């Protein structure tokens, strides 16, 4: 059974801890992202998601409002659960929540994730750039 919980870290610190464990493994340990960059000042204002399979947390993401619109961020799935459609399930759940706002939806995609986001309606805008020592493109939902 797949379950997705939406939360704010101030109201659900236990869920925040579980989501951060996933982000720690994926971003800090696998991709060598500096923890100072990973856990930023937007943690408390973002809307977070935690996806569990059979009660075990395996994926997470968040979104937040910016002056440009709604930015999707911090999509992370544990290695053991990748390529099983869970990222798509999580993305669709988030889009269902934010599409009614009728605001621009965008993200910064790592190069390897671009095909995934393209399959879900995102297009590349702008030039390639480096963020946290990883190459990215900005993508917008159309």
pLDDT in tens, the chain (142 residues): 999 999 999 999 999 999 999 999 999 999 999 998 898 999 999 999 999 999 999 999 999 999 999 999 999 999 999 999 999 999 999 999 999 999 999 999 999 999 999 999 999 999 999 999 999 999 999 9
Q: What is the pLDDT of residue 50?
A: 98
Q: What is the pLDDT of residue 9?
A: 93
* Cβ-contact 139, 106 below 8 angstroms: yes
Identify the CATH homologous superfamily for domain 2-101. Answer: Gcn5-related N-acetyltransferase (GNAT) (3.40.630.30)
CA distances from 3 to 25, 34, 41, 66 (A): 21, 30, 27, 28
Q: What is the pLDDT of residue 36?
A: 86
Q: What is the pLDDT of residue 37?
A: 87
Q: What is the pLDDT of residue 115?
A: 97
Q: What is the pLDDT of residue 2?
A: 95
* Cβ-contact 64, 95 below 8 angstroms: no
Q: What is the pLDDT of residue 99?
A: 95
Q: What are the structural domain ranges in the chain?
A: 2-101
């Amino acid at each position: 059974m797949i379950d997705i919980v939406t939360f704010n870290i101030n109201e659900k610190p236990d869920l925040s801890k579980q989501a951060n464990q996933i982000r720690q493994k994926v971003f800090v340990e696998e991709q060598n992202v500096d923890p100072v960059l990973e856990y930023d000042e937007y943690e408390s204002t973002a809307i977070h998601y935690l996806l569990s399979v059979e009660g075990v947390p395996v994926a997470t993401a968040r979104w937040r409002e910016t002056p440009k619109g709604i930015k999707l961020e911090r999509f992370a799935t544990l290695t053991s659960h990748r390529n099983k459609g869970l990222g798509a399930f999580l993305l669709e759940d988030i889009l269902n929540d934010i599409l009614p706002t009728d605001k621009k939806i965008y993200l910064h995609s790592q190069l390897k994730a671009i095909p995934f986001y393209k399959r879900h309606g995102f297009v590349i805008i702008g030039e390639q750039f480096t963020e946290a020592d990883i190459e990215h493109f900005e993508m917008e939902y159309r």
